Structure 1
């Protein structure tokens, strides 16, 4: 299936891009995260399970169990703090 992945803030810097269109066999957002982490050391560090990483599916916050379908947009970003 084809999806769009968007990266924000420090994750964007680590991934080297703000977004990309991907073909994936991942069934869930969590499986996609694992797939992306396997691509490089930088991705593994930026998306590591021990790090606080927020995920959104079609602009709605989601957990790793959220199912994916073709045409979805997934976003990964660090938690936002305000001042």
Structure 2
């Protein structure tokens, strides 16, 4: 299983802070993101932002990073400042 965490507006949109996803057939974060987006329009909207940030095992990462069973992936919206 891969533990997936959602932060900030993603958490609000998806109405959850975490889910667990079966790692079978997943090799990278993009595939994980696509599998999650298959859950419906709200998921597609929340995870479809090209500026979405991701961390793998608490380290900033890219969408093409390799994932394995037991990993933790966190998605969060882009950070803005002023």
1:9 aligns with 2:27: no
- Asked if residue 77 in structure 1 is aligned to residue 76 in structure 2, the reply is yes
TM normalised by structure 1 equals 0.88
Which contiguous aligned blocks of 4+ residues in structure 1 show a shift greater than 2 angstroms?
none
Distance in 2, matches of 1:29 and 1:51, equals 13
TM-score normalised over the length of structure 2: 0.89
- Number of aligned residue pairs: 81
In structure 2, runs of 5+ residues without a counterpart are none
The residue aligned with 1:33 is: 33
**Alignment gaps of 5+ in structure 1:** none
- Residues 23 and 68 of structure 2 are in contact (CA less than 8 Å); yes or no, is this contact kept in structure 1? no
Within 2, Cα distance between the matches of 1:45 and 1:51?
Answer: 11
